[in-house]
């Protein structure tokens, strides 16, 4: 089985990132993880990229941390995948897989934080969109228990390694009959960890489209650091 973390940050792309993409990959490799989706905070989240840049320049700079690490990933035999974490309001966030930076550049309407616009775009382009840590309790989240609109997403990150146990269990209980795809992620920002969450697959995922397809078709098992 191959293990993938679906929720990872790095210095530069995320203002809260602690280590570089290279350092993150090496740490994941050490603990036996096959690859991860680099989901740095996007325009309306805690991004490390200058929000005042024009759209195309912003996306290029955001994606640079991913592209600059691809050669290193190949040398490490590590599957580095492109992803997005964006805020849609009230400090609530969603995750996107299956969309390449070039497609983002060609769609400046995504400069909005409107999740309905993102949802239509992602689904139209065969991607996968999921709510991140839906019931996370933090001082900066005004209403942590607000119920999200499930019509906009394909999945829900019900297990987040940086959440409290109670936060994750609330998500499991609330969404168990939702019919949505359940995913898990580490939400790691630095290399000080020995376990993470994610998914396990029977085949390697070399591209973000392969990841999106595996999620949409439920071709995976949850990995909870065991």
Can you tell me the distance from the alpha carbon of 224 to that of 35, in angstroms, rounded to the nearest whole number?
15
Q: In what order do the strands lie in the sheet with 155-160?
A: 181-185, 155-160, 128-131, 92-97, 79-89, 35-38, 2-8, 198-201, 221-223
In the chain, DSSP assigns E strands to 2-8, 35-38, 79-89, 92-97, 128-131, 155-160, 181-185, 198-201, 221-223
Q: What is the token pair recorded at 188?
A: 């790691």
Q: Which fold does the domain 2-223 belong to in CATH? A: TIM Barrel (3.20.20)
Angle formed at CA 80 by CA 74 and CA 83, multiple of 5 degrees? 155
- Token pair of 54 as six digits: 């024009």
Contacts of 186 (CB under 8 A, 6+ apart): 5, 7, 8, 36, 160, 161, 162, 193, 196, 197, 198
Tell me how far apart the alpha carbons of residues 172 and 19 are, in angstroms, rounded to a whole number. Answer: 31
pLDDT score for 49? 98
Digit-by-digit pLDDT tens for the chain (226 residues) are: 999 999 999 999 999 999 999 999 999 999 999 999 999 999 999 999 999 999 999 999 999 999 999 999 999 999 999 999 999 999 999 999 999 999 999 999 999 999 999 999 999 999 999 999 999 999 999 999 999 999 999 999 999 999 999 999 999 999 999 999 999 999 999 999 999 999 999 999 999 999 999 999 999 999 999 7
Cα–Cα distance, 130 to 18 (Å, whole number): 24
Q: How far apart are alpha carbons 157 and 173 in whole angstroms? A: 13
């Amino acid at each position: 089985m191959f293990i993938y973390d679906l929720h990872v940050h790095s210095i530069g792309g995320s203002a809260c990132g602690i280590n570089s993409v290279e350092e993150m990959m090496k740490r994941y490799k050490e603990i036996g993880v096959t690859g991860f989706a680099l989901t740095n905070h996007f325009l309306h989240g805690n991004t490390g990229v200058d929000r005042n840049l024009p759209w195309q320049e912003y996306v290029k700079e955001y994606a640079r941390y991913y592209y600059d690490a691809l050669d290193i990933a190949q040398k490490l035999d590590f599957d580095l995948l492109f992803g997005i974490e964006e805020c849609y309001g009230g400090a609530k966030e969603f995750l996107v897989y299956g969309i390449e930076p070039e497609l983002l550049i060609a769609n400046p309407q995504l400069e909005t934080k409107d999740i309905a616009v993102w949802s239509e775009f992602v689904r139209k382009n065969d991607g996968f969109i999921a709510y991140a840590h839906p019931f996370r309790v933090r001082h900066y989240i005004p209403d942590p228990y607000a119920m999200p609109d499930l019509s906009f997403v394909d999945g829900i990150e019900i297990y987040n390694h940086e959440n409290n146990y109670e936060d994750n269990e609330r998500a499991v209980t609330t969404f168990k009959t939702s019919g949505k795809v359940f995913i898990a992620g580490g939400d790691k920002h630095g290399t000080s960890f020995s376990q993470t969450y994610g998914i396990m697959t029977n085949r390697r995922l070399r591209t973000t489209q392969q990841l999106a397809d595996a999620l949409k078709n439920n071709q995976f098992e949850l990995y909870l650091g065991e």
